[in-house]
Amino acid sequence: MNDLTKGKPLKLIFWFTIPLLIGNIFQQFYSLSDTLIVGQTLGVKALAAVGSTGSVQFLIIGFAQGLTAGLSILTAQYFGAKDYKGVRRSFAISIVVSLIVGIILTIISMIFVDHILVLMQTPSDIMADARTFLQIMLGGMLAPIAFNLLSNIIRALGDSRTPLWFLIVSSLINIGLELLFILGFHWGIAGAGWATILAQLIATLMCVVYIVAKVPILHIGRRHFKLVWSEVKAHLNVGLPMAFQMSIIAIGTIVLQAALNSLGTNSVAATTAAQKIDQVATQPLMSFGVTMATFAAQNFGAHKYERIIKGVKQTMWLSGSFSVAAGLIEIIWGKQLVGLFVGHQDMAVLNLSQTYFNVIGSTYILLSMLFIMRNTLQGLGRSAIPTLAGAAELFMRVFAALILVRFFAYPGACSSEPLAWLGSCAVLLPAYVKAVRELRLRARNEREHPEKVAPALENVVKE
């Protein structure tokens, strides 16, 4: 376990982020290998089928994953406050809530999968493959939900390295299973789906074995599942806004995906391939953001408010530098990177993907600021504002899908992401500035009146 409340903030943040970054990149191999293997072995139409389901997965599975990330925030705050009984209770609550939500989402999504694909205007030539892939991914969603919950809980205790090793192993297994199922068993696009679910299930089992063997602070028994409503409510107050935030963002992505589908298979294929590069390129930005959630949560629980402010400032500079470098790489070498997925002969797809990179890569600095501010606020237990920021992202994506796509076609669709980031930052920035003022006020009051210091976690519940 790693205590982020002691030592130089930037050094701790950097070394906590490195395993997280590597782990997130390997996690992208789940979808990246789907795209690479499917595109090269099954063709552009199969690639488009996988890509056309991404926003739906983001909506449904993303809701549960946002919930698990939110639940682990309180676990990190209890750990920072050295309340280890609270850590165990928090873990038990997180398991129960995640299981209930996962089962409900699985049942609902499997019932309405066909309706969703029709509403998204999925092209008829990829409808069958899209349905097959989506049914497998949604039917097995408990595997990624369980893995994300356990990974987030382990990271909440300051350990970002262990989940990395599990991701590496499971990612390699995923690639091997895809090749076996597609090329060996000839299962087609279904092979890609089953390989992903099985690999994530293996990662979940590795987390369970590790916790049982190495993390006694997370050893829970029947008594820990005797839940108290006030504690469950405190977790839901943080977890549900983060879950809805993910879903709100995903709704905008679905609307945009429907607009992309209307532009034809080439546009869907170009976006699918380009987004895989985009997802890898933005992992440093996302990883710094996730680190700040844990850093802020632990230090808030420990009443080290000024330390939070210092860590955020230093991380913004570091993450901003990565954002500029990533954007330049995409703009300069975008076509060559996309060619790895679709080959170098399909110039229509390659040209469209370069348009995507030109628009997206030049605005990564906005995304960098978004991740850090949003995750810091969540780490402080303030999930309402990030949810409003998600609503701003939704509005911007819908505007691009309904208006800009109509007038500017594919470039209009590409502009949806920068507009969404801008809208989110417009909401987050004032809230972050206000939070900094309140943290400084807390720090001053505790220095002047140490006898009146209240437990930080009680403040979280009230807020």
Tokens of 313: 């400032």
Largest Cα–Cα distance of the chain, in whole Å? 72
- Measured distance CA(113)–CA(128) in Å, rounded: 12
> What is the distance between the alpha carbons of residues 129 and 147, in angstroms, rounded to a whole number?
26
The Cα-based distances of 294 to 25, 30, 211, 433 in angstroms read 19, 25, 19, 19
User: In this predicted structure, what is the pLDDT of residue 462?
Assistant: 38
Neighbours of 95 (CB within 10 A): 19
Q: What is the pLDDT along the chain (463 residues), one digit of tens a residue?
A: 677 888 888 888 888 888 878 877 766 665 666 667 777 777 777 877 777 777 777 778 778 878 898 899 889 889 988 899 999 999 999 999 999 999 998 999 899 888 888 877 787 888 888 899 899 999 999 999 999 999 999 988 988 889 888 888 888 888 899 889 988 898 888 998 899 899 999 999 999 999 999 999 999 998 899 888 888 998 898 888 888 877 777 777 677 777 777 787 778 778 777 877 887 888 888 889 889 988 998 999 888 999 999 999 999 999 999 899 989 988 888 777 887 766 666 677 788 888 888 888 889 999 999 999 998 998 888 878 888 888 888 888 888 888 888 888 888 888 888 898 999 999 999 999 999 999 999 888 888 777 665 555 544 433 3
Asked if 350 contacts 206 with a C-beta cutoff of 8 angstroms, the reply is no
DSSP output for 205-242: HHHHHHHHHH-GGG---GGGGS--HHHHHHHHHHHHHH
For residue 455, the model assigns a pLDDT of 56
Q: Which tokens belong to 189?
A: 């696009």
Give the pLDDT confidence score for residue 197 in this predicted structure.
Answer: 92
What Rg, from alpha-carbon coordinates, does the chain have?
22
Which long-range contacts link 435-443 to residues 24+ away (Cβ below 8 Å)?
435/376, 435/377, 435/380, 435/382, 436/309, 439/305, 439/306, 439/308, 439/309, 439/380, 440/305, 440/306, 440/309, 442/303, 442/305, 443/305, 443/306
The reported pLDDT for the residue numbered 136 is 93
Report residue 156 as tokens: 């909440």
Q: What is the pLDDT of residue 214?
A: 92
Q: If we measure between CA atoms, which residue out of 238, 207, 206 comes closest to residue 377?
A: 238
Question: Which residue is associated with the tokens 């720090």?
Answer: 443
8 A C-beta contact, residue 34 and residue 194? no
Burial annotation 257-267 (CB, 10 A radius, 16+ → b, else e):
bbbbbbbebbb
CA atoms of 298 and 222, how far apart (whole Å)? 27
Q: CB within 8 A of 74, min separation 6: which ones?
A: 90, 234, 235, 238, 297, 381, 457, 460
Delimit the domains of the chain by residue range: 1-227, 244-462
* Closest to 358 (Cα-Cα) out of 276, 414, 399: 414
Closest CA to 374 of 391, 352, 355: 391
Residue entry with tokens 């994506």: 397
How far CA 406 is from CA of 118, 120, 123, 393, 401, in Å, comes to 20, 16, 18, 19, 8
CA triplet 229, 233, 239: central angle to 5 degrees?
A: 145
